[in-house]
Amino acid sequence: MDTDILISGGGIAGLTAAAAFGSAGYRVVCVDPLADTAGDQRSTAFLQPAIPVLAAAGLWDRLSPSAAPLQVMRIVDAGGPSAEPRLAKEFDAAEISDQPFGWNLPNALLRTVMADRLKDLPDVTHLRGTGTRTLATRTSQARVTLTNGQTVTARLVIAADGRDSPMRQAAGISVRTTRFGQKALAFTVLHDIPHNNVSTEVHRSGGPFTLVPLPDRDGRHASAVVWMDAGPKAERLRALLPDDFSVAASERSAGVLGPLTLASPVGIFPIIGQIAARMSGERLALMAEAAHVLPPIGAQGLNTSLADLAALLDLATPATLGDAAMLDAYHRRRHGDIRTRALGIEALNRASMLSWPMMRDLRATMLDTLYSVKPVRRALMRAGLGGR
């Protein structure tokens, strides 16, 4: 099989890339080993800069009716002697924009809508239940063998195949990995107090507890939750019966939305930081978790991935697709920004893990100080959206 672009990976980043390049007129093969993701309990917040990418891919019109806007980002410090909030600061998008910070959608819905979009693009082939195995490149093309025995020749291979990327490994590109000793629980809750389109991060110790707005469900308000904590504790929490888990989650949330009722299975995944030594190789571009893994703080992970895609779309032309100049330019454009962003996210995560009372007091003081200076507050909000 011959194509312009082979995309290894069928997660949200890979499917978006397939839709975007297919919409731009390229022949695309998307190799998607994830035949079934119905059990994915996570949600994704698309920040403002991601929307033009989704629109160009023909996806945003299909997704926006189901999206919950994120108008306010609230940070709550509950690191005092009790579990009650002792400090809460709200960052309102209205200070810097006439649009919300972003919009939140469940991952399972995203994959369904994105896969349906690929069916409408005649030059996109979506191979579900199939992975990539080997990569061989030369200056003019790449040859990839698949787990189903097929061979695909492409001018450009885009590795969007996760933190253990087989294409990155085949290209011999190394990674630097940071392990935090944390795991994250991902689930959905129902609650009686409306979220009012406010996304809330509650900090105590072990890691943030993040509530992200979802559309109402069964006549009740709903939020997606990512609860980060030390690995053994997270495993113990996941083993609780649903009623007991709801009580534990309500306590950890500092009661900001009242009692929480578990409304989904509880997923679990390890928290690491990981950065590839390069964003590209011969006829190969790394994006998303094949290139960088960030702790799930501030909705940076997937949005950083879509910034990768935006850069690839901007640099690609029919004449230069996959050549050395294009891929070197891609590495230069993205690698420095990713390293800087990763350092910031790592610092925030370590601050959220603090258990010593004195250090938690310092964390609260820093939050209060940064929020109180208006130019600093606005700069932080713009930086969170990917600006300078």
Q: What is the pLDDT of residue 160?
A: 96
- Place 354 in a pLDDT band, splitting at 50, 70 and 90: low
Q: Render pLDDT for 168-216 as a digit per residue (tens, 0 to 9).
A: 999 999 999 999 899 999 999 999 999 998 999 888 878 889 999 988 8
Strand partners, 73: 91, 199
- Could you tell me what percent of the chain has a pLDDT over 90? 64
Q: What is the pLDDT of residue 74?
A: 86
Q: What is the pLDDT of residue 316?
A: 96
- Please give the single-letter amino acid code of residue 179: R
| Average pLDDT over every residue of 2-9 | 97
- Domains with residue ranges and CATH for the chain: 2-39+111-177+274-349 (3.50.50.60)
Q: How far apart are CA 223 and CA 338, in angstroms?
A: 29
Q: What is the pLDDT of residue 97?
A: 80
| Average pLDDT over every residue of 66-94 | 76
Q: Which residues of 338-376 are buried (b: 16+ CB within 10 A; e: fewer)?
A: beebbeebbebbebbbbeeeeebeebbeebeeebeeeee
| Average pLDDT over every residue of 57-66 | 95
- Place 387 in a pLDDT band, splitting at 50, 70 and 90: low
Strand partners, 77: 87, 203
H-only helix segments in 120-238: 166-170, 231-238
Q: How far apart are CA 302 and CA 150, in angstroms?
A: 30
Q: How far apart are CA 161 and CA 151, in angstroms?
A: 18
- Place 356 in a pLDDT band, splitting at 50, 70 and 90: low
- Place 92 in a pLDDT band, splitting at 50, 70 and 90: confident
| Average pLDDT over every residue of 32-60 | 84
Q: How far apart are CA 373 and CA 299, in angstroms?
A: 23
Global pTM exceeds 0.75: yes
146 within 8 A of 131, measured Cβ to Cβ: yes
Mean pLDDT, the chain, whole residue set: 88
Q: How far apart are CA 13 and CA 288, in angstroms?
A: 6
Minimum mean pLDDT among 12-21, 120-129, 219-228, 335-344: which range? 335-344
Q: What is the pLDDT of residue 355?
A: 61
Higher pLDDT, 230 or 97: 230
Tokens of 256: 């900001």
- Place 72 in a pLDDT band, splitting at 50, 70 and 90: confident
- Place 37 in a pLDDT band, splitting at 50, 70 and 90: low
Minimum mean pLDDT among 91-105, 195-209, 214-228, 363-377: which range? 363-377
Is 358 a residue whose pLDDT tops 70? no
